[in-house]
Structure 1
Amino acid sequence: MDLRKLKTLIDLVSESNIAELEITENEGKVRIVKSGGTAFAAPMMTMPMQTAPAPAAASPVAPTALEAPAAPAAAAGHVVKSPMVGTYYASSTPGGKPLVDIGSSVKVGQAVCIIEAMKIMNEIEADVAGTVTQVLVQNGQAVEFGQPLFVIE
């Protein structure tokens, strides 16, 4: 789906009483969800290695079993959250060494993972210095906006 068409759909959802719109085309699915008066698009990848697309962050749908382990109960330390919807990758190359593991020391601004969104690879950086104590997602997993990725102490 081209960007002009996507922007038009987002504008239509923003200006209407529709809370959610999902469109399926040959290239894949796009789900547009209105959150607090503004709409945003969440590309839903339909690749064989994924089990199922996760619902958008603002969706009123109940949490699925995939999301349950991603929400640590009172995690000690600082939680690094996903700034976007996309696919999480632990390393910068397929099959490569992860950017960080449990026990890795990180500095502010150091790349900790990659999130692919709309075929763009985005480096996610640590916003605090410390030691990675938990990795809350698996390589190749779809992540939502605001989903916890790491715990750094």
Structure 2
Amino acid sequence: MDIQFIRRLAELLEKSAIDEIEVVEGESKVRITRHAAPIVPQNVTYHAQPAPLPAMAPESIQAPAAAPVAAPAAESAPQGYMIKSPMVGTFYRASSPEAAPFVEEGSIVKAGQTLCIIEAMKLLNEIEADVSGKIIKVLASNGQPVEYGEPLFIIAPED
């Protein structure tokens, strides 16, 4: 593949609503992806202004109640590099029902290694690791529908 062809693909991606283009030509393979920042809905809460309190004599003022005991800290999520779904589809951990999963928790992966398949519109899309490291957590279940931007794997990048 020549550089002009790749540039034309990139221009096509910019001018269209397509998020990803992948071309395989013999042993050559090129994938161009546009990752737009996901739109995060803003939660807005409106509070009514409290009504003024009636005036009280100083002897009727009571000491403030003891503060409630803080809730125990929530279990922290594993830290690491998150691989997110680039599309809406169905998540598969293996290439077929009889095959072993591409990766397991604790597996060491290299950048570009296939982690899973997402089926979208009858097409099987291989999802590859962006970084090399160790799989800390597999967040999606086999056969589960996934949304764009949904976390699939957490990887501890190698140093």
Q: TM-score, normalised by structure 1?
A: 0.53
Map Cα deviations across residues 51-76 of structure 1 (whole Å, 9 max, x no partner). Answer: xxxxxx8697xxxxxxxxxxx96530
Equivalenced residues, count:
90
Tell me what 2:137 maps to.
Answer: 134
Paired residues for 1:2-151 under 5 Å: 74-151=77-154
State the identity %.
56
Q: Give, in whole Å, the separation in 2 of the partners of 1:59 and 1:116.
A: 25
Computing the radius of gyration from Cα coordinates, the structure with the larger value is: 2
- Report the CA distance between 1:96 and its aligned residue: 1.4
Partner SS for 1:150: strand
Root-mean-square deviation over aligned CA pairs? 2.7
8 Å contact 2:78–2:136 — kept in the other structure?
A: no
Map Cα deviations across residues 57-115 of structure 1 (whole Å, 9 max, x no partner). Answer: 8697xxxxxxxxxxx96530000000000000000111310000001000000000000
Q: TM-score, normalised by structure 2?
A: 0.51
Q: Which runs of 5+ in 2 are unaligned?
A: 1-16, 19-37, 42-74
Equivalent position amino acid for 1:140 in 2: G
Q: Give, in whole Å, the separation in 1 of the partners of 2:104 and 2:78.
A: 17
Q: Give, in whole Å, the separation in 2 of the partners of 1:75 and 1:141.
A: 21
Change (3 A) 1:118 1:58: farther
Q: Give, in whole Å, the separation in 1 of the partners of 2:113 and 2:135.
A: 12
